[in-house]
Amino acid sequence: MKPPFLRALVLVSLVFSGGASSTVLAQAGAESGGSWEGLMAMGNTRYQENDFAGALEAYASVLEAGLESPSLHYNLGNSYFKIGDLGRAILSYERALRLNPGDPDIRANLELARSLTTDEIEPLPRFWVFSVLSWWTNLLPRRVLLLIVASLYVLGSAGLCARILSRSVTPARIGNWLLVGSGLGLLLFGSTLLGRAGLFGAADWGIIMAEEVSVRSAPAAEDDLTLFRVHEGTKVRLDQRTELWSEVVLEDGRVGWVPSEVLEII
């Protein structure tokens, strides 16, 4: 079962068995969640009836309304996978994993989909420090990080009040310890949360949507500039992006330019 968003924002909770997961959607607004619940129920029913195109239509309507969750992207990925749209299946799984990096089901389905792509790309080895940082940043779901940060803030506030208002030594000392501990915790988990939010200059990644794309040495549609070709479902890092062209870096380090229209940002 996929984890829920913050309880204060939960509007819809549906149990979905079969090919899709339990879905919890959140909407911060005054709109009623009933219509979204109906769309999700419709999508779940259609999926279970093997009407994958119909399920996609229902799920996409929820997404277009501005509602998002790991489970919604996961269900979209499963539906795209069933109709053979490998590129969009991988894109949806990647988006689900971005929201919930620790989910084993999402990761397993993503690995399965990626194993079916044409390109076999061996990622460059990473310096161990970056591997550890990536592991730590993605260790906990975002909602857990938010809960930890909020709890530490409350503890720090309580410690500050005890430090300022107490007239005896022991409560003031406890307040000092609470201030120091919560401050260090906020520094650690707050920076982790900011890292998850991409506020430390995190790179943009994209998925190739076209069946085959020529990667060129310059942003120009000339055949003699072709360096190599990539295929649907390949993951690339975006270094530069304009309306017409994007400079991409493959996971094995190769660099080149592709038309911006052939890829979707995760």
Residue 244 and residue 179 in one domain: no
**Residue 229: pLDDT over 90:** yes
Domain containing 178 equals: 129-196
**Residue 5: pLDDT over 60:** no
pLDDT mean over 115-143: 79
* Residue 252, C-beta contacts closer than 8 angstroms, at least 6 positions apart: 121, 122, 123, 124
Q: Is beta strand 245-250 parallel, antiparallel or unpaired with respect to 255-259?
A: antiparallel
Residue 178 lies in a domain: yes
Residue 121 lies in a domain: no
Confidence at residue 198, expressed as pLDDT on a 0 to 100 scale: 61
Tokens of 221: 């549609």
Residue 177 lies in a domain: yes
Question: Confidence band (pLDDT; 50, 70, 90) for 98?
Answer: confident
Residue 189 and residue 209 in one domain: no
Give the angle 166-169-175 at the CA atoms, nearest 5°.
Answer: 60
Residue 93 and residue 149 in one domain: no
Total domains in the chain come to 3
Residue 247 and residue 156 in one domain: no
pLDDT, averaged across the chain: 82
Residue 146 and residue 188 in one domain: yes
Tokens of 138: 């993605």
Could you tell me the CATH number of the domain that includes residue 34? 1.25.40.10
C-alpha 79: how far from chain center: 18
Residue 228 lies in a domain: yes
Query: What amino acid occupies position 94?
Result: E
Domain boundary among 172, 196, 220: 196
Task: Report CA Rg, the chain.
Answer: 23
pTM of the model: 0.67
Q: What whole-number distance in Å separates Cα of residue 78 and Cα of residue 23?
A: 13
Report in angstroms the alpha-carbon separations of 244 from 222, 236, 247, 259, 263.
Answer: 14, 17, 11, 6, 11
**Residue 235: pLDDT over 60:** yes
Residue 33 lies in a domain: yes
pLDDT mean over 132-151: 81
**Residue 17: pLDDT over 80:** no
